[in-house]
Amino acid sequence: MGMMQEFREFAVKGNVVDLAVGVIIGAAFGKIVDSVVGDLIMPVVGAVFGKLDFSALFVVLGSVPPGTANTLEALKKAGVPVLAYGNFITVAVNFAILAFIIFLMVKQINRLKREAPAAPPAPAAPAEDIVLLREIRDSLKK
């Protein structure tokens, strides 16, 4: 029963629950950001740079069976070894754009989440010798 008690305490700790919520929200947020990159930003990038589509770039590493179209999908379906470096470039560009968007979002969130100014430090209590000297001074004034 001790192990189950330890597991229950571990599972309901704030950090574990926060992590679970973060993962769930992150997965949903990832879909939104993928849509922003794929549906909004990449078409603009493609229009600016002349309809670039890196995903169609590949190198055939084996022999192509007769009658197979020279497209990446057809070659993969035929089982031909293909080095699809264009797909990697597309994923890398998407990642760079995604990372930049997240950077801008975090920067804006941090700007909006300004911390309250720190309270001025409380005056330190005077040292014991100063207190004694003040008492002596006050007693001499009497």
pLDDT tens, position by position, 40-87: 877 787 778 776 667 778 888 888 888 888 888 888 888 889 888 888
Instruction: Indicate if the pLDDT at residue 110 is higher than 70.
Output: yes
How many Å apart are CA 106 and CA 27, to the nearest integer?
17
How many Å apart are CA 43 and CA 52, to the nearest integer?
9
Domains of the chain, residue spans: 1-50, 53-115
How many Å apart are CA 28 and CA 22, to the nearest integer?
10
Question: Region 19-38: what's the mean pLDDT?
Answer: 81
Give residue 19's pLDDT band: very low, low, confident or very high (50, 70, 90).
confident
Q: Any residues with CB less than 8 A from the CB of 80 and at least 6 apart, and which?
A: 60, 61, 62, 63, 64, 65, 68
pTM score of the predicted model:
0.51
pLDDT of residue 1: 64
